[in-house]
Chain A
């Protein structure tokens, strides 16, 4: 099994008619993902390489049975797009859009929680989700993956790709690779992914890739201590990041002494996770954890 998506996931791409949306939407379809619809109110009735375009997500859901949305629209439009998908009853929404203002993120998060509690948002500013051999929504380069027993959850995109690649190179496949994104208010947390991986019979070990900023890794460590019996290999980026500086991701900032990599590493070690010192060590530690 995989988490959050599988071979039956049907995706509506909000932004399919845009340059980026078309590139990634078609790329995801070429991998075998069921990309069943796109939306654009001005282009309803047309198609993108055979994928029908609808005016609204609600129309797309009604006509195609889409059960996942891929939001790839500009930052100022993204909050409304996410809420439109939730309103249309889509249970799983992936938003890759970067630079959504923090207040908009906070409003969307709390709106979803209150009015659409069964909707899961992944992102924003995330790489997306890949279940090797089944479904790929977002940016993840599926060519460096293969199906298997390791679940990956990461704030960073490139570091997740690196982990996929390291594992695949050493013959270890992956159940699902989940990008939760680098923004301050992610819709899906480490804990959400850890819980799903723990419950997934196919996943035997979990790789968790965090970075400076916030306390999501510390909270995940607490959760691991109490609820995760599968081995966890962790890596935290930003050990040497200067305080007060935003390191590329909106959420990657040590503010007022809080959110340091050192604190996160210590919490994860105390929770029994194997912590890699650099990303290339992840593969070896997973092999060790799986006894291979």
Chain B
């Protein structure tokens, strides 16, 4: 689960990472009220799950109530890379120190904005910490030699001595070094104890009064760890309300679903087969409407749930059901499909391909129930072609 900036900052604060005081606003009036309480200047920040907010005009400095009103009014409802802004974070503006060693092309000193993050290095199977003096920009655009990397063994954890060496390797300015230690140690704790997949501060700043402070927060929580984090519940209601409604319904029904924007609905069993079904629909010139993995089995119950989710998608013109029967035999799967069709009125026809254990029996059942709402084809390629053809009509 990705957190929005303000949620990430709330999470950071739990671990002692210094963040600015602020408040959430869903209306212009709320924004002004927070600003009045916090004191000027404030920063009005769009809360959307995407980068590039600053460039898009979603982050503005305001010196008085009129400016807050003006910027909040502009930013609420703004479309940033396909995300509509419905919520703002108003925080007290920070004064960022100027660098004495790093300069912009025009000769002006750069702001002391750094980058810090922890994530898993899947290749090394250890944690990877990244620290750079070049913050405030996407880390992908920073040259490798300006990023200090540290591998942390999950058993040993991060020692303060290693942390200091890492800070020195990143060549952080002298004034920020001592202050960065507790912040990075806290970031490590947030990453591990907080069960994050990614804990990123960009920028991490040095203020004019010498404090090291998180000016932004990018946090991805590991969904698998939800059980031991009851405090995540408050983040979830927001993520459901702001996300894809199809994905929210699928989640409620316990299905693995990813919404896409095509017109061929997809149901498959197993993540690998579901991915490969999306691929083949695209390969034959179609546009998948979704990825949906119903898991190992394929009972009528599960099939009804899957079809219910697909049915809520108005773009879907054909439904491709691609099942490999293993322990769940194809005849059971076929009966499940037929039964599901009796229980739900579909908005689009089904093209089914089933293969595996008892394939012949399963296909015979589907064949006997063929109609304009149900077509059976024996292999994946021809079934994909048929589904795409129907969707294109």
Residues of chain A whose beta carbon lies under 8 Å from any beta carbon of chain B: 27, 75-76, 99-103, 106-107, 109-111, 114, 139-141, 143-144, 154-162, 165, 182, 184-185, 209, 211-216, 219, 235, 237-242, 245-252, 256-257, 261, 277-280
Contact = CB atoms under 8 A, between A and B. Distances in A.
Given A211-B271, A237-B272, 6 more contacts: A156-B270, A158-B326, A215-B123, A216-B122, A240-B288, A279-B273
Given A159-B276, A211-B275, A219-B123, A141 B222 contact: no
Contact of B355 (A165, A211, A239, A247): A165
A185 B120 contact: yes
B380 A279 contact: yes
Contact of A76 (B123, B222, B227): B227
Contacts, number: 166
A185 B228 CA distance: 20
Contacts of A257: 140
Given A165-B355, A185-B125, A156 B327 contact: no
B270 A158 contact: yes
**B125, B192, B296, B326 pick with most chain A CB within 10 angstroms:** B326
A158 B268 CA distance: 10
Nearest to B140: A256
The B interface is mostly helix, strand or loop, or mixed, namely mixed
Contacts of B357: 141, 143-144
Interface of B: 120, 122-123, 125-127, 140, 153-155, 192, 195, 197, 222-225, 227-228, 256, 258, 260, 268-276, 278-283, 288, 291, 293, 296, 324, 326-327, 355-357, 379-381
Contact of A103 (B122, B154, B256, B271): B154
Given A107-B155, A241-B291, A76 B271 contact: no
A292 B293 CA distance: 35
B120 A102 contact: yes
A248 B291 contact: yes
Nearest to A74: B227
A278 B153 CA distance: 38
A240 B258 CA distance: 12
**B269, B270, B273, B275 pick with most chain A CB within 10 angstroms:** B275
19 contacts: A27-B327, A99-B224, A110-B125, A110-B153, A143-B357, A144-B356, A155-B272, A156-B271, A158-B269, A158-B296, A159-B273, A185-B120, A209-B272, A211-B271, A214-B122, A216-B122, A248-B272, A248-B291, A250-B224
Nearest to A143: B357
A27 B328 CA distance: 13
A280 B283 CA distance: 14
B258 to A, nearest CB: 5
